[in-house]
């Protein structure tokens, strides 16, 4: 059943291109336009490389490349399949837009050390794509750690006290979890299977470990990839919001957090295997953990006044949607969870862009200060509205489709509790997003904190956020590429 | 009685252990640095003694072959002896009986017929010569460090030195 | 000439030492190039030896042409050759590093300092290569002697530490000597391989004398390698010694003693004896667990940069002792690989500490204030070393942990595995504390954007003679990690001859 694999170096290049981009970025450090030009070129080349692999993947094939056997039986190897493709496409396309946005944001605020900022941004993207295209658990772990470390200077960009404590929390959670939980599980699996860590569509653990061991490994790996923000290992995400907004947008709505859930998806599907998990009935435990996170994070989000923190808690909830969908272990649920990676990414990045644009234009961070802001920044707030539609899962935005599939997945399995959880959470999402947009546009003139004069953020930023908002809507009309990929991936995973 | 015999039999071991303990005690508990070094010397000497006593055999003589032994007749040759055999003999030191010192039963060193029981084992001696040299130089270095400490702290009492370190930074 | 490579490894630094004394009396400036030249020869010969060993298997070399067991024999297998190469490389790197440091810290004793440095390298190399148990004792003592002198050249704290080291070092060496004496009683030989043959042939493993010998030798070596709780001499000695001294001795001495322990356990006593018959593995590994945790926690409590690093050495010794006593192939391979990897990681961080001290004159961790902006290259070197100590791929430290944890899991020793992971985290905390000072400054600003320790055009890197060794070591750490297969295959060949249980994953 395994479709023929194609050997090609393209995935390696796709990851490497942004790593190499660091050199011109540093060399051109003095000249801002050229430096950002280099960033753009790298982003477009990267996207082009990934997109060039799309037809092959759509045809049901995979692309493989083994770079270097580093430990006996263990190689740094790349493999592109449909699941990795979804993630790779989302991350690389959003990088281009984020670069545009960063230019607007960083210049608008006259931030310091912009060269460092763009360099580490590139490195982070290299690591993200590396994770997406990893062929085995070891390569995945390597890029995962690389991402944790490369994002640290970005999170702590401001180099003030707040950044230091935020950075501490960030690394403490991520490194502790990965070293304490992931690394030993990795080695344990390595020993138990006699030296195999390569992802296989139907999993490879079956027959190597017993039920209890599988449960322990599952728990360790689920929490070990703390980037997924499953409670109680979620506190790093709000803490990381001290970062400049482009970082929060791309890394903490898309790349970093999605790397977390992507790792979990990969481990469930490629290491344990969906059938093995459902045989042992292990999915149920994970759905409960995820459901708890979904509800609690939404409730916390309601109470947050700082816009970026509210978005952070919303992200935590949405990430657990993805994990929950996977853990349902039904075809529709799995498809939905994969699609949600893409849909949520576009929606959430729009929201973050808006938050950043508001901060850059007005200096406001708190929701209570944003009453009437729609009069001043109509484009931004319109985009915000579209973004929130997508995250809530209301038609006219792409998020609708993925949520639909997730709900369908719960019904398919007769898990009505989970259905209720998802619906409740959607209501809560609406409860914490709509008032912001509503009060921005429709408030009594005397309550408004802003003059009715239109004054948007830096044009680069506005273009970027409008783009993502438009794409979010397009994804409602035309979810085809992601839908097709998710479908291919699901079939591949479920049928072996 | 058995206990007494055991003690008398292993007399050399008991003595070296007692000396070692004295040395160790001095090294650990003495406050004066020079006294510590004296302890160290005793400690090392105890080990020298131990090694030397390994090579001892009752009634044996120093392992120097007189010149005329080298020219004895070929018939008496045989029984090649290597140093490892000598050492095996060493542990059976007590079994050696008195040897006729005057009888020229020993041949040329290259192809000798040597009665190993008549000579003490030379190897421990050689080793201990080296060990003595090492010990002396250790003592020398340690003493010069002590001297340096005295010029820096004005005392060779350990507690006073530590007090000085605690109170002021270097 | 090429056949003599094992001898040249030793003789090159030794003869240079003599030369340095003589020439140094008149021309002090000639010392440094001579030292570097001598150590280059030694390193080249070590490479040659390693290649010969890889090609032709175990190498036997009789010093001065005297056949064993009468003469002193070098029997060089994969293990010695690797460790010897490591020692000579580290010596070379520290020698280059010392170019400005020695005139600055010990300006009046340049030639003496270099002579001692070369001698200590010679003795350490000798310990690695000799096949004679008594010869090893002599080298053990003289190398220690030389290091006492090298350490005592530092601040007055270092002098106190050197005295303590002298006392403890003598006790350790004397224990070892006694142990060899007991072995000699039983086997009548001092050649390590000969002793082993006699022990096996005459079935002496049941003898109490051999047991006593084993205990004495092990404890003696443990004292010398600063295995917790016998580590008291180490921290101050390396923290307050002259910069070059701690860069040279810090990484090497403990590791060479670990080598001696492995050599004694496997080659002299048989693995069947040390692992199966004695069956102490469990206890010793638990001791190692305590050493790892104690070392890491003590390091956390330090404010002096080099003292902190010194406690890391104590923890790392625990890694290796534990790995060796796990009694399976993965653990042993991990321990030996860690021995090599750790030498370079430790060297890397010590070189960094030396640079900080040279640039700021301070020993405190806070001296790293704002260094990311001022000395980005130096910090890059530290980051590699630190990540390796923490165990982040693809640095060498990750792979040594990889094998060690495999060994721990294969042996079912979960305490050891946990200790390794916890110590990784402790090191992460330690080094990120340094990174924070270097990145944020000692007192970061309250608000956003008003104060930034960075600034353009204020780079002030250390001189090339200090920076290049650091960067070189950092790249070695990476290379050893990336090419760990080739090193591990040499080690596996060495370990393979002992028929241990629990084969390594291939």
Give the model confidence (pLDDT) of A82-97 as tens digits: 888 888 888 888 888 8
Task: Decide if C137 touches B, using CB distance below 8 A.
Answer: yes
- Residue C218 confidence (pLDDT): 92
| CATH class of residue range B1-56+121-170 | mainly alpha
Measured between beta carbons, which residues in chain A are less than 8 angstroms from residue C452?
112-113, 159
Which of the other chains make 3 or more beta carbon contacts under 8 angstroms with chain C?
Answer: A, B
Q: SS3 of A76, please?
A: strand
- Burial of A381 from C-beta contacts in 10 A (0-12 / 13-18 / 19+): buried
Task: Decide if C184 touches A, using CB distance below 8 A.
Answer: no
Q: Measure the CA–CA gap between A366 and A355, rounded to whole angstroms.
A: 10
Task: Decide if C84 touches B, using CB distance below 8 A.
Answer: no
Which is more confidently placed, C276 or B147?
B147
- Residue B113 confidence (pLDDT): 64
Task: Decide if C498 touches B, using CB distance below 8 A.
Answer: no
Structural domain spans, chain B: 1-56+121-170, 59-119
Q: What is the mean pLDDT of residues C264-283?
A: 83
- Residue C347 confidence (pLDDT): 92
pLDDT in tens, A242-299: 888 888 888 778 888 889 999 998 888 888 888 888 888 888 888 888 999 999 999 9
Q: What is the mean pLDDT of residues A107-124?
A: 82
Task: Decide if B169 touches C, using CB distance below 8 A.
Answer: no
- Residue C453 confidence (pLDDT): 45
Range of the domain at A125: 5-495
Which is more confidently placed, C70 or C253?
C253
Task: Decide if C86 touches A, using CB distance below 8 A.
Answer: no
Q: Measure the CA–CA gap between A35 and A25, rounded to whole angstroms.
A: 5
β-bridge partners, A76: A68
Q: Are strands A5-7 and A62-71 parallel, antiparallel or unpaired?
A: parallel
Is the confidence at residue A366, as pLDDT, over 80?
yes
* Minimal Cβ distance to B148: which of C142, C159, C178: C159
Q: Where residue C275 falls among pLDDT bands split at 50, 70, 90?
A: confident
pLDDT in tens, A453-483: 777 777 888 888 888 899 888 888 888 888 8
Q: Where residue C260 falls among pLDDT bands split at 50, 70, 90?
A: very high
Is the confidence at residue C70, as pLDDT, over 80?
no
Q: Which of A43, A42, A22, A45 is nearest to A116 (CA)?
A: A22
Averaged confidence pLDDT in chain B: 72
Q: What percent of chain B has pLDDT over 70?
A: 68
Q: Can you read off the two tokens belonging to residue C29?
A: 């400036």
ipTM score for this prediction: 0.83
* Minimal Cβ distance to C149: which of B44, B127, B141: B141
For the ranges A284-293, C83-92, C491-500, which has the lowest average pLDDT? C491-500
- Residue C67 confidence (pLDDT): 72
- Residue B106 confidence (pLDDT): 42
Q: Which of A392, A339, A383, A405 is nearest to A472 (CA)?
A: A383
Q: What is the mean pLDDT of residues B141-153?
A: 90
Residue A18 contacts by C-beta under 8 Å, 6 or more apart in sequence?
Answer: A42, A43, A46, A95, A122, A123, A125, A126, A129
Which of B10, B41, B84 to substitute to test the interface with C, most C CBs within 10 Å?
B84
Q: Measure the CA–CA gap between C74 and C11, rounded to whole angstroms.
A: 14
Chain C closest CA to B26's CA: distance in Å? 11
Q: Which of B144, B69, B80 is nearest to B107 (CA)?
A: B69
3-state helix, strand, coil in chain C (%, to 5): 80, 5, 20
Q: Where residue C348 falls among pLDDT bands split at 50, 70, 90?
A: very high
Task: Decide if C163 touches B, using CB distance below 8 A.
Answer: yes
Asked whether the beta carbons of residue C446 and residue A68 sit closer than 8 angstroms, the reply is: no
Number of residues assigned to chain A = 496
pLDDT in tens, B52-111: 887 777 777 777 776 655 555 444 444 434 444 444 444 443 333 333 333 344 444 454
Q: b/e string for B34-65 if b means 16 or more Cβ within 10 A?
A: eebbbbbbbbbbbbbbbbbbbbebeebeebee
Is the confidence at residue C503, as pLDDT, over 60?
no
Q: What is the mean pLDDT of residues C91-118?
A: 85
Asked whether the beta carbons of residue B44 and residue C163 sit closer than 8 angstroms, the reply is: no
Averaged confidence pLDDT in chain A: 85
Averaged confidence pLDDT in chain C: 85
For the ranges B94-108, B155-169, C365-379, which has the lowest average pLDDT? B94-108
Asked whether the beta carbons of residue B87 and residue C189 sit closer than 8 angstroms, the reply is: yes
Is the confidence at residue C456, as pLDDT, over 50?
no
pLDDT in tens, B43-68: 988 888 888 887 777 777 777 776 65
Chain A closest CA to C110's CA: distance in Å? 41
- Residue A495 confidence (pLDDT): 66
Query: Is residue A358 within a helix (H) or strand (E), and if so which, with residue range?
Result: helix A331-362
3-state helix, strand, coil in chain B (%, to 5): 70, 0, 30
pLDDT in tens, A180-215: 899 889 888 888 887 778 888 777 887 778 878 888
Is the confidence at residue A315, as pLDDT, over 70?
yes
- Residue B79 confidence (pLDDT): 41
Q: Do A and B touch (≥3 CB pairs < 8 Å)?
A: no
- Residue C289 confidence (pLDDT): 93
Task: Decide if B165 touches C, using CB distance below 8 A.
Answer: yes
Task: Decide if A168 touches C, using CB distance below 8 A.
Answer: yes
Q: Measure the CA–CA gap between C350 and C263, rounded to whole angstroms.
A: 27
Which of C109, C123, C159 to substitute to test the interface with B, most B CBs within 10 Å?
C159
- Residue B68 confidence (pLDDT): 54
What's the whole-model pTM score?
Answer: 0.87
Which of the other chains make 3 or more beta carbon contacts under 8 angstroms with chain A?
Answer: C
Q: Where residue B39 falls among pLDDT bands split at 50, 70, 90?
A: very high
Task: Decide if A208 touches C, using CB distance below 8 A.
Answer: no
Number of domains in chain A: 1
- Residue B95 confidence (pLDDT): 37
Q: What is the mean pLDDT of residues A149-154?
A: 88
Question: Nearest residue on chain C to A140, judged by CA atoms?
Answer: C393
Is the confidence at residue C485, as pLDDT, over 90?
no
Is the confidence at residue C473, as pLDDT, over 50?
yes
- Residue C22 confidence (pLDDT): 87
Task: Decide if C278 touches A, using CB distance below 8 A.
Answer: no
CA-to-CA separations, C396 to A116, A475, A487, C482, in angstroms, rounded: 27, 45, 41, 7
Please, what is the Cα angle at C141 between C137 and C147, to 5 degrees?
Answer: 145
Measured between beta carbons, which residues in chain C are less than 8 angstroms from residue B146?
163
Q: What is the mean pLDDT of residues C343-368?
A: 87
Q: Measure the CA–CA gap between A496 and A274, rounded to whole angstroms.
A: 9
Q: What is the mean pLDDT of residues A149-176?
A: 86
Q: Measure the CA–CA gap between A16 and A19, rounded to whole angstroms.
A: 5
CA-to-CA separations, B13 to A75, B53, B54, C431, in angstroms, rounded: 59, 8, 10, 51
Which is more confidently placed, C102 or B29?
B29
Measured between beta carbons, which residues in chain C are less than 8 angstroms from residue B85?
188
- Measured in whole angstroms, how far is the alpha carbon of residue C20 from the centre of its chain? 25
Q: Where residue B112 falls among pLDDT bands split at 50, 70, 90?
A: low
Q: Measure the CA–CA gap between A65 and A79, rounded to whole angstroms.
A: 6
Is the confidence at residue C176, as pLDDT, over 90?
yes
β-bridge partners, C445: A160
């Amino acid at each position: 059943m395994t479709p023929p694999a194609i050997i090609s170096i393209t995935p390696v290049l796709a990851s490497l291109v942004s790593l190499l981009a660091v050199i011109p970025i540093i060399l051109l450090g003095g000249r801002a336009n050229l430096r950002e030009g280099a960033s753009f070129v790298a982003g477009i080349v990267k996207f082009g490389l990934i997109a060039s692999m799309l037809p092959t993947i759509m045809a049901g094939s995979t692309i493989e490349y083994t770079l270097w056997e580093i430990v006996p039986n263990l190689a740094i190897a790349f493999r592109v399949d449909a699941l990795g493709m979804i993630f790779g496409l989302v991350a690389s396309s959003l990088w281009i837009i984020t670069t545009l946005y960063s230019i607007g944001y960083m210049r608008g605020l006259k931030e310091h050390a912009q060269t460092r900022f763009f360099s580490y941004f590139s490195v982070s993207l290299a690591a993200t794509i590396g994770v997406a295209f990893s062929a085995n658990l070891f390569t995945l772990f390597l890029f995962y750690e690389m991402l944790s470390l490369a994002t640290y200077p970005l999170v702590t960009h401001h180099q003030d006290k707040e950044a230091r404590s935020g950075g501490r929390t960030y690394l403490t959670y991520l490194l502790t979890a990965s070293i304490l939980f992931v690394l030993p599980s990795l080695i344990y699996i390595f020993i138990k299977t006699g030296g195999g860590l390569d992802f296989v569509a139907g999993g490879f653990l079956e027959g190597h470990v017993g039920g209890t061991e599988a449960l322990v490994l599952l728990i360790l790996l689920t929490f070990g990839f703390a980037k997924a923000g499953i409670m109680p290992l979620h506190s790093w995400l709000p803490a990381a919001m001290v970062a400049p907004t482009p970082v929060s947008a791309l890394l903490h709505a898309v790349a970093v957090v999605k790397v977390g859930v992507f790792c979990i998806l990969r481990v469930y599907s490629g290491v344990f295997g969906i059938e093995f998990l459902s045989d042992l009935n292990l999915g149920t435990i994970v759905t409960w953990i995820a459901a708890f996170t979904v509800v609690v994070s939404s409730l916390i989000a309601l109470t947050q006044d700082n816009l970026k923190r509210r978005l952070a808690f919303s992200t935590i909830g949405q990430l657990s949607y993805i994990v929950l969908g996977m853990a349902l272990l039904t075809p529709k649920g799995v498809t939905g969870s994969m699609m949600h990676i893409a849909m949520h990414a576009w929606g959430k990045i729009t929201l973050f862009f808006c938050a950043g644009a508001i901060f850059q234009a007005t200096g406001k961070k708190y929701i209570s200060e944003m009453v009437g802001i729609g009069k001043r920044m109509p484009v931004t707030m319109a985009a915000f509205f579209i973004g929130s539609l997508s995250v809530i899962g209301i038609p006219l935005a792409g998020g609708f489709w993925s949520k639909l599939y997730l709900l369908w997945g719960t019904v398919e399995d007769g898990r009505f509790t989970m259905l209720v959880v998802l619906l409740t959470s959607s209501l809560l999402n609406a409860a914490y997003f709509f008032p912001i947009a509503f009060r921005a546009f429709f408030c009594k003139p005397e309550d408004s904190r802003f003059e009715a004069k239109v004054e948007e953020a830096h044009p680069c930023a506005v273009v970027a956020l409008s783009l993502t908002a438009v794409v979010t809507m397009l994804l409602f009309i035309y979810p085809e590429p992601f839908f097709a990929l998710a479908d291919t991936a699901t079939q591949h995973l479920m049928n072996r | 009685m058995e206990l007494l015999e055991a003690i008398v039999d292993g007399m050399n071991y008991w003595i070296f252990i007692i000396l070692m303990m004295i040395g160790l005690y001095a090294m650990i508990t003495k406050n004066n640095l020079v006294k510590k070094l004296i302890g160290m010397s005793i400690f090392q000497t105890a080990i020298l003694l131990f090694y030397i006593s390994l090579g001892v055999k009752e009634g044996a003589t120093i392992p120097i072959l007189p010149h005329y032994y080298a020219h004895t007749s070929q018939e008496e040759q045989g029984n090649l002896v290597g140093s490892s055999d000598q050492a095996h003999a060493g542990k059976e030191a007590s079994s050696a009986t008195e040897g006729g010192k005057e009888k020229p039963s020993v041949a040329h060193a290259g192809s000798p017929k040597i009665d190993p029981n008549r000579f003490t084992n030379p190897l421990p001696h050689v080793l201990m010569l080296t060990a003595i040299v090492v010990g002396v130089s250790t003592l020398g270095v340690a003493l010069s460090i002590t001297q340096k400490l005295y010029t820096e702290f004005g005392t060779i009492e350990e507690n006073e030195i530590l007090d000085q370190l605690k109170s002021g930074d270097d | 000439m090429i056949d003599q490579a094992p001898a040249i490894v030793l003789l090159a630094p030794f003869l240079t030492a003599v030369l340095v004394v003589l020439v140094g009396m008149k021309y002090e400036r000639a010392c440094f190039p001579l030292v570097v030249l001598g150590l280059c020869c030694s390193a080249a010969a070590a490479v040659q030896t390693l290649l010969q060993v890889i090609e032709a298997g175990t190498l036997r070399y009789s010093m001065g042409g005297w056949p064993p067991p009468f003469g002193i024999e070098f029997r060089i297998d994969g293990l010695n050759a690797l460790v010897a190469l490591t020692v000579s490389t580290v010596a070379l790197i520290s020698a280059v590093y010392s170019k400005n440091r020695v005139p600055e810290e010990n300006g009046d004793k340049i030639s003496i300092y270099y002579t001692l440095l070369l001698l200590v390298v010679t003795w350490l190399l000798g310990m690695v290569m000799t096949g004679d148990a008594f010869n090893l004792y002599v080298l053990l003592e003289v190398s220690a002697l030389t290091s006492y002198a090298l350490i005592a050249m530092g601040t007055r704290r270092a002098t106190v530490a050197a005295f303590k080291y002298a006392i403890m070092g003598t006790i350790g060496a004397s224990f070892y000597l006694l142990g060899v004496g007991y072995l000699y009683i039983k086997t009548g030989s001092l050649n390590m391989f000969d002793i082993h043959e006699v022990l096996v042939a005459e079935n002496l493993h049941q003898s109490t004398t051999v047991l006593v010998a084993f205990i004495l030798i092990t404890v003696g070596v443990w004292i010398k390698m600063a295995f917790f709780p016998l580590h008291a001499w180490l921290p101050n000695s390396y923290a307050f010694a002259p910069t070059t001294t701690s860069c040279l001795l810090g990484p090497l001495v403990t590791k060479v003693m670990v080598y001696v322990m492995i050599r004694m356990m496997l080659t002299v006593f048989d693995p069947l004896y040390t692992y199966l018959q004695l069956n102490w593995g469990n206890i010793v590994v638990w001791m190692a667990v305590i050493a790892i945790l104690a070392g890491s926690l003590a390091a956390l409590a330090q404010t002096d940069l080099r003292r902190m690093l010194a406690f890391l050495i104590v923890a790392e010794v625990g890694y290796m002792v534990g790995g060796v006593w796990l009694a399976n192939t993965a653990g042993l391979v991990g321990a030996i690989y860690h021995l090599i990897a750790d030498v370079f990681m430790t060297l890397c961080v010590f070189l960094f500490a030396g640079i900080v001290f040279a640039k700021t004159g301070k020993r405190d961790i806070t001296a790293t204030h704002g260094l990311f902006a001022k000395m980005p290259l130096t910090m890059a070197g530290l980051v590699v070393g630190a990540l390796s100590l923490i165990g982040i791929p693809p640095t060498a430290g990750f792979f040594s942990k990889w094998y060690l944890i495999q060994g721990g899991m294969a042996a079912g020793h979960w305490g050891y595995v946990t200790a390794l992971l916890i110590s990784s985290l402790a090191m992460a905390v330690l080094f990120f504390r340094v990174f924070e000072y270097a990145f944020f400054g000692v007192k970061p600003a309250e608000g956003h954007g008003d104060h930034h320790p960075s600034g353009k055009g204020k780079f002030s890197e250390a001189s090339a003679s200090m920076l290049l060794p650091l960067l070189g070591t950092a790249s070695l750490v990476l290379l050893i990690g990336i090419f760990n297969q080739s090193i591990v295959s040499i080690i596996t060949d060495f370990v393979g001859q002992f028929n241990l249980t629990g084969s390594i994953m291939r």
